[in-house]
Structure 1
Amino acid sequence: MTADYLRNALTVRLARPDDAAGIARIHVRAWQAAYRSIFPAAYLDSLSIPKRRALWAELIARGMPRVMLAQRNDVIQGFIAWGASRDNDKGQADAEIEVIYIDPSQWRRGVGRMLIDEAINAAASEGYREVTLWALEENVQGLRFYKALGFALDGVFRTERVGGCEVCETRLHLAI
């Protein structure tokens, strides 16, 4: 029993630049699966893993935002990027989860919860008192997930143009 548990256990660690290819693959696959009803298929199908790989390699090497990944048996299952809040109305005690994406084959298996818990614990250890994140209003599944973890809408919205579509994002927050 213990051997099976250890073999199937998730581990979380900081990402390294050589993890960028696996992160990019998950980033693209998760967008294509989660946002199929929100963005045009042509846009989602055009997402480039090589471009995302270059972006993530640069961000990881820079060290901001912090990028952590969850893996099982050395295979990346998901990742989260977080750091100081980028919002003008937030202060030095506010952290932000910039992105979290899980391989669609691993949805509802605890990967996202584990990554958010790790990011919140890391943020708290650095002195942050609140964590925020932005979610598409149309992403009902994502909003349900964040609310189940204790995040609440804070009434702040923004509009973005992505893939030829105008979408509304809502901000959620959690005191830590």
Structure 2
Amino acid sequence: MTADYLRTALSVRLARADDAAEIARIHVKAWQAAYRSIFPAGFLDSLSIPKRRALWSELITRGNPRVMVAQRNDFVLGWIAWGASRDHDKGRTDAEVEAIYIDPPHWRQGAGRVLIEEAINAAASEGYREMTLWALEENACGLRFYKALGFALDGVFRTERVGGCEVCETRLHMTI
């Protein structure tokens, strides 16, 4: 019963410019919690909430990607950014989750699932037929979460340099 209550108590809405500070805070705190075993502590500790706030304020104002927040009682628990796929091998009917982060004290309480479901529904209503996302190969918890929602590895990988580390990302996809 608790899980059902938590899920129904959540609401999702499009982000507003005044959400940028909370989105930035969650972005930094989630990176620091989720990627502590992947990236150097110095890099994670140097992540700047004010810089992220400026970035998210600009992106929200621009409207691309679309940013949605999950909240309970006017308190933002997490957010998702999605839009048309940025991958060169994808077409006009392919959407992409560019980022999704939940405030660490609220992990495993349904906000991530609700956000992804809302993004998928919104993308389908706009005519998209597939949703993709990229995840760090070393992020076992994230990969389990995405697979539990119906995403599957599609065999495409890329290497990025982040925080002085070379990391491999794998792409997942689902038909919507």
Residue by residue over 1:106-149, the C-alpha shift from the partner in whole angstroms, topping out at 9 and shown as x without a partner, is 10000000000000000000000000000000000000000000
Distance 2:114 2:146 in 1: 13
Match of 1:15 in 2: 15
Q: How does 1:5-154 map to 2 (within 5 A)?
A: 9-154=9-154
Provide runs of 4+ in structure 1 moved above 2 Å: none
| TM-score calculated relative to the size of structure 1 | 0.96
Percent identical residues: 82
Distance 1:132 1:171 in 2: 7
| TM-score calculated relative to the size of structure 2 | 0.96
Unaligned 5+ runs, structure 2: none
Residue by residue over 1:72-129, the C-alpha shift from the partner in whole angstroms, topping out at 9 and shown as x without a partner, is 1111100000000000000000000000000000100000000000000000000000
The amino acid that maps onto 1:88 is: H
Partner of 2:43, secondary structure, is helix
The amino acid that maps onto 2:13 is: R
Unaligned 5+ runs, structure 1: none
Distance 2:76 2:64 in 1: 20
Partner of 1:128, secondary structure, is coil
Aligned Cα root-mean-square deviation (Å): 1.1
Distance 1:159 1:74 in 2: 38
The alignment of Structure 1 onto Structure 2 pairs a total of residues equal to 171
Give the drift of 1:9: 1.1
